[in-house]
Amino acid sequence: MKMERRDFLSKAAIASAATLFSTNSLLSATYPAKEKLGIALVGLGYYSTDLLAPALQLTEKAYLAGIVTGTPSKAETWKKKYNLPEKNIYNYQNFDQIANNPDIDVVYVVLPPSMHREFVVRAAKAGKHVFCEKPMAPSVADCEAMIKACKDNKVKLAIGYRCQHDPNIQAYMQVAKEQKFGKVKMVTSAAGYFDGRTNHWKQNKALGGGVMGDMGVYALQGARLATGEEPISVIAQASTTRPEIYKEVEETMMFLLEFPSGARASCQTSFGINMNYLQVNYEKGWLKMEPQSGYNGNKGSMSDGTLINFTIKSQQAKQMDEDCMAIMVGTDLIAPGEEGLRDIRVVEAIYKSVKTGQLVKI
Amino acid sequence: MKMERRDFLSKAAIASAATLFSTNSLLSATYPAKEKLGIALVGLGYYSTDLLAPALQLTEKAYLAGIVTGTPSKAETWKKKYNLPEKNIYNYQNFDQIANNPDIDVVYVVLPPSMHREFVVRAAKAGKHVFCEKPMAPSVADCEAMIKACKDNKVKLAIGYRCQHDPNIQAYMQVAKEQKFGKVKMVTSAAGYFDGRTNHWKQNKALGGGVMGDMGVYALQGARLATGEEPISVIAQASTTRPEIYKEVEETMMFLLEFPSGARASCQTSFGINMNYLQVNYEKGWLKMEPQSGYNGNKGSMSDGTLINFTIKSQQAKQMDEDCMAIMVGTDLIAPGEEGLRDIRVVEAIYKSVKTGQLVKI
């Protein structure tokens, strides 16, 4: 990843050309020339209901073609609301039959993290491209298995990193790439919100809960994307101010990262604190974002007076459109499985540091 | 410390009354009723030359009465520039004779940190009040000895924490005290600058160098003053990107603090990075300062739209005036020796954490 804007623009240009000649050979031979790819959402919780399904009403290259849910009442509601054909509605048992459904081009896994591996692998085996929500999985081993399954079955795997499709985030990635203010020296990256729930999967270890995977990857991505580097060591500290709720997983994680260039980052994430900002200090200037990873309104400023304040109608719509375009045209995904794995590699090191109380090399 | 603004105002009112009746009994019996206290600066480096001496031209309760220097040429220059009488100029050998000089009320120690203890103790034994630059000393043992010497000799000891005299800093201290936005949850505090020097005491361990004492106490104070609490644990990481210069001491220090209330702080300090900011996330809002500990221009904003932007003519003049007033009136100092000790206690724990690679309880 770490796509340059000019790369992005040229890919968009290719994609537009592909759309003009929608029967041409640029389109994958596996798929008939479709105007839009059919997406099946797996798991109909808050994110599917309130973010992805509405976004799929705005997409130009994707549409809501089907659903996979373990709750029959949800199936009924969604069927009516989105006018879905009965044949495109699956449960977790008959899900594998999706292989025979030409309406479904992409399976979007929006389940708790512990279930990602199973459903990504099953989707890949069914010959469907896969979108998978973040965090990619609870372990590096899971991520590697998911990447391998998609490779083996010749399908694409995109991680739902909506922010990397947000031009406001791409702007600060570009600043690092161009070294506009010289080398990055220090990053502070914080992402958290007060979660009042007491019995959600986010508080459940077996389901892949804990703030590190959920909000922590935003704090981590702030540091990774602002430096354009992968961390080589981490020291981390987990804590909880509500032990009656956070029995199994951490409410707050703080971690210090070291990067190959010598850049350092301090990251904070919490289910108990409303915070969302990024500060980057370079050799010759600074950049700030606040919010840095919101669903909308991400914006920032730089020491030379440059403002970052792009407006987009929907991050999730842009993400799905761009990922579908990459599938249709056969170009690189902005955030493929390997990008999700990069984060989980650091997340594993963070938990190891918490366990040992020591710095962990990555 | 942690004085409420109303305390400050009422003290100021008492002090004003004292000034009106300058022969009254509120003034210390030890000192004749002076309009201004005479200050002798010990150590005529950059800070004395460029900050304190000019500030002493603006003070209303203090004036530059003498100097103590090991460099005869500096003595000559200062004598002429500030019209100092020969009898008020000392060197490090004859310094103790200052005991017999009624012009000198306060000795202000502006030497490298390793020399603070010796000169604070000698000044106290000479019966003079003492101002001492930050960091107070390289060790807790030194700080305790300095406090004891001043107590034994019935003189006051003030640490040169100019920021605590800055109304912009007092404003965020007050927000913590009043719990304007509820409890403090997370603090990010950064203070650093690019130091191009290669052979200064700041790079010399024996002289008390290292970024932690010099700039690190600003990062630490940001967290301590923004929470109004003392940290109970720390985990720290020292690093250096210019090992050819930072052979003996750290160029950069990052440390994570835990406070009794459950508040957490992430602090960064460096001689290699220009950065100076504070971000506080409370239960119900936020506060930002940038710069947070500059010589001037400290300013900030809060989530409810309140701006912090007080103008003062000189932090150092305000500091010396307020400290002299406290001596004249016999009231509490804003930043006494005990406040300097609080920081050094954390600094010692930070170095211990760096050495062991483990969290250290304070």
Task: For residue B287, give the CATH number of its domain.
Answer: 3.30.360.10
Give the Cα separation of B152 and B156 in Å (integer): 10
The answer on pLDDT for A29 being more than 90 is no
Give the model confidence (pLDDT) of B49-77 as tens digits. Answer: 999 999 999 999 999 999 999 999 999 99
Q: Given this model, what pLDDT does residue B32 score?
A: 54
A256·B252 Cβ contact <8 A: no
A and B: number of Cβ contacts within 8 A: 90
From CA A174, how far away is CA A301, in angstroms rounded? 14
The answer for residues whose C-beta is within 8 angstroms of residue B45's C-beta and 6 or more apart is B110
Each residue's pLDDT tens digit, B181-213:
999 999 999 999 999 999 999 999 999 999 999
Q: Write out the two tokens for A321.
A: 């459109």
β-partners of residue A265 are: A187, A257
Higher pLDDT, A314 or A5: A314
In a domain, B27, yes or no: no
pLDDT at B34: 83
Closest-CA residue of chain A to B240: A262
The reported pLDDT for the residue numbered B23 is 42
Distance of CA A50 to the CA centre of its chain: 16
Q: Please tell me if residue B274 touches chain A, with a CB cutoff of 8 Å.
A: yes
Residue of A nearest to B282 (CA): A273
Give the closest-approach CA distance of B262 to chain A in angstroms: 6
Decide if A190 and B188 are in contact by the 8 Å CB cutoff: yes
Closest by Cβ to A264, choosing from B235, B254, B262:
B254
Distance CA B233, CA B352 (A): 11
Q: For residues A121 and A34, which has the higher predicted lDDT (pLDDT)?
A: A121
pTM comes to 0.89
Q: How large is the C-alpha radius of gyration of chain A?
A: 20
Instruction: Determine whether the interchain pair B185/A357 forms a contact, defined as Cβ–Cβ distance below 8 Å.
Output: no
A182 near B CB under 8 A: no
pLDDT for position A8: 40
Catalytic residue, chosen from B61, B134, B156, B288, is B134
Q: Tell me, yes or no, if A186 comes closer than 8 A to chain B by beta carbon.
A: yes
In this prediction, residue A10 carries a pLDDT of 41
CA distance B357 to chain A (A): 6
Catalytic: which of B218, B246, B277, B351?
Answer: B218
- Helix, strand, coil % in chain A, rounded to nearest 5: 40, 25, 35
Q: Does A185 touch chain B (CB under 8 A)?
A: yes
Closest listed residue to residue A65, CA positions, set A78, A50, A51: A78
* Residue A208 confidence (pLDDT) above 60: yes
Facing residue for B268 by CB, picked from A186, A272, A358? A186
Instruction: Let me know whether A158 and A168 are in one domain.
Output: no
B217 domain residue, yes or no: yes
Tokens 């690190």: give the residue: B216
B33 neighbors B105 (Cβ within 8 angstroms): no
The reply to whether B56 falls in a domain is yes
What 3-state class would DSSP assign to B73? Answer: helix
- The answer to whether residues A248 and A203 touch, using CB atoms and an 8 Å cutoff, is yes
Same domain, B140 and B175: no
- Least confident stretch, A347-351, B3-7, B42-46, B97-101: B3-7
Q: Does A241 touch chain B (CB under 8 A)?
A: yes
Q: Are residues A226 and A172 in the same domain?
A: yes
- Give me the percent of chain B exceeding a pLDDT of 90: 90
Instruction: Provide the pLDDT for residue B29.
Output: 45
Looking at residue A32, what is its pLDDT? 54
Closest partner CB to A275 (pick from B268, B281, B358): B281
Q: Do the bridges between strand A300-302 and strand A285-289 make them parallel or antiparallel, or are there none, so unpaired?
A: antiparallel
Residues B107 and B60: their CA atoms lie apart, in Å, by 17
Chain A residue with minimum CA distance to B242: A262
Indicate if A135 and A187 belong to the same structural domain: no
Q: What is the mean pLDDT of chain B?
A: 92
CB half-sphere exposure, A320, CA atoms < 13 A:
32
B172 carries an active-site annotation? no
Which pair of tokens denotes residue B18? 């004292």
Final residue of a structural domain among B131, B162, B193: B162
Q: Name the nearest CA neighbour of A89 among A64, A120, A114.
A: A64
What does the pLDDT read at residue A16?
43
The b-or-e profile of A64-77 (16+ CB within 10 A means b, else e) is bbbbbbeeeebbee
Which residue from A155, A175, A172 is spatially nearest to A164, judged by alpha carbons?
A172
Mean pLDDT value of segment A165-190: 98
DSSP calls for B11-57: HHHHHHHHHHTTTSTTS-TTS---SSEEEEEE--SHIIIIIIHHHTT
Average pLDDT over every residue of A89-101: 98
φ, ψ (nearest 5 deg) of residue A181 = -115, 30
Contacts of A203 (CB under 8 A, 6+ apart): A197, A209, A245, A246, A247, A248, A249, A271
- What amino acid occupies position B253? M
Mutant choice from B233, B275, B304 vs A, greatest count of A C-beta within 10 A: B275
Contact of B196 with chain A, judged by CB distance below 8 Å, is answered with no
Judgement on whether residues B75 and B202 belong to the same structural domain of the protein: no
**Is B277 marked active-site?**
no
CA distance B153 to B82: 30
Q: What is the CATH number of the domain that holds B122?
A: 3.40.50.720
Query: Do A167 and A283 fall within a single domain?
Result: yes
What is the arithmetic mean of pLDDT over B21-39? 62
Please calculate the CA angle B308-B46-B315 and round it to the nearest 5 degrees: 25
Q: Identify the domain boundary among A162, A193, A226.
A: A162
Letter for the amino acid at B92? Answer: Y
Does residue A19 carry a pLDDT above 60? no
Residues B351 and B213 in one domain: yes
What domain range includes position A291? 163-310+336-361
Across the range A236-248, mean pLDDT stands at 96
Mutate to test the interface with A, among B181, B232, B235 (most CBs of A within 10 A): B235
Q: Is A18 a member of any domain?
A: no
In which band, very low, low, confident or very high, does the pLDDT at B7 lie, cut at 50, 70 and 90? very low
Q: Which residues of A are part of the catalytic machinery?
A: 134, 218
- B207 and B101 inside one domain: no
Q: Which residue of A has its CA nearest to B288?
A: A277
Tens digit of each residue's pLDDT (9 = 90 or more) over A315-339: 999 999 999 999 999 999 999 999 9
Using a CB-CB cut-off of 8 Å, the residues of chain A touching B359 are 237, 357
Residue A206 in domain: yes
Instruction: State whether A156 and A171 are in the same domain.
Output: no
The answer to whether the Cβ–Cβ distance between A190 and B357 falls below 8 Å is no
Is the Cβ pair A237, B359 closer than 8 Å?
Answer: yes
Answer whether B258 touches A (CB < 8 Å): yes
Pair A301, A307: CB distance under 8 Å:
yes
Nearest CB to A272 within list B185, B237, B272: B185
CB contact under 8 A, A270 and B239: no
Residue A1 lies in a domain: no
Across the interface, whether the CB atoms of B186 and A239 are under 8 A apart is answered no
Of B315, B196, B204, B254, whose CA–CA distance to A283 is shortest? B196
Closest-CA residue to A258 (of A282, A236, A277, A287): A236
Are A173 and A90 in a shared domain? no
In a domain, B67, yes or no: yes
The token pair that represents B256 in the structure block: 């994570």
Span B110-151, pLDDT tens digits: 999 999 999 999 999 999 999 999 999 999 999 999 999 999
Tokens representing residue A182 in the block = 């010289």
- A266 closest CB neighbour out of B185, B268, B283: B268
Long-range contacts of A206-209 (CB under 8 A, 24+ apart): A206/A114, A206/A248, A207/A112, A207/A113, A207/A114, A207/A115, A208/A112, A208/A113, A208/A114, A208/A115, A208/A116, A208/A135, A208/A137, A208/A138, A209/A112, A209/A113, A209/A248, A209/A249
Mean pLDDT score of chain A? 92
Binary contact (A186, B286; C-beta < 8 A): no
- What pLDDT band is residue B251 in, cutting at 50, 70 and 90? very high
Predicted pLDDT at A34: 82
B267 and B354 in one domain? yes
Q: How many residues does chain B have?
A: 362
Residue A272 in contact with partner chain B when CB distance is under 8 A: yes
Whether cis (ω within 30° of 0) applies to the bond prior to A102 is: no
Is A172 within 8 Å of A225 (Cβ atoms)?
yes
Q: How confident is the model at residue A151 (pLDDT cuts 50, 70, 90)?
A: very high
Q: Which of B240, B250, B256 to mutate to test the interface with A (most CBs of A within 10 A)?
A: B256
- Phi and psi (nearest 5°) for B90? -120, 160
Decide if B220 touches A, using CB distance below 8 A: no
Question: Which of B223, B231, B224 is CA-nearest to residue B259?
Answer: B231
Q: Does B188 touch chain A (CB under 8 A)?
A: yes
The pLDDT of residue B348 is 98
Query: Mind telling me how many Å the CA of A173 is from chain B's nearest CA?
Result: 20
- Note whether A239 contacts B264, CB cutoff 8 Å: yes
Model confidence pLDDT, tens digit, residues B288-303: 999 999 999 999 999 9
Given an 8 Å threshold on Cβ–Cβ distance, is A256 in contact with B254?
yes
Q: What is the pLDDT, as a whole number, of residue A5? A: 41
Contact assignment for A281 to B258 by CB distance below 8 Å = no
B183 residue type, one letter:
K
Residues in a beta bridge with B286:
B281
Q: Structurally, how many domains does chain A consist of?
A: 2
End residue of a domain, out of B122, B141, B162: B162
Chain B residues with CB-CB distance to A357 below 8 A: 235, 357-359
Residues B291 and B350 in one domain: yes
- Residues in A 330-359 with any Cβ partner in B closer than 8 A: 357-359
pLDDT for residue A26 is more than 60 = no
Give the three-class secondary structure for A355: helix
Is residue B24 included in any domain, yes or no? no
Contacts of A89 (CB under 8 A, 6+ apart): A66, A67, A68, A69, A75, A78, A79
- Is the distance from CB of B360 to CB of B349 less than 8 angstroms? yes
Mutate to test the interface with B, among A185, A271, A277 (most CBs of B within 10 A): A185
Average pLDDT of the segment spanning A117-134: 98
> Is a pLDDT exceeding 90 seen at residue A46?
yes
- Whether chain B has a CB inside 8 Å of the CB on A273: the answer is yes
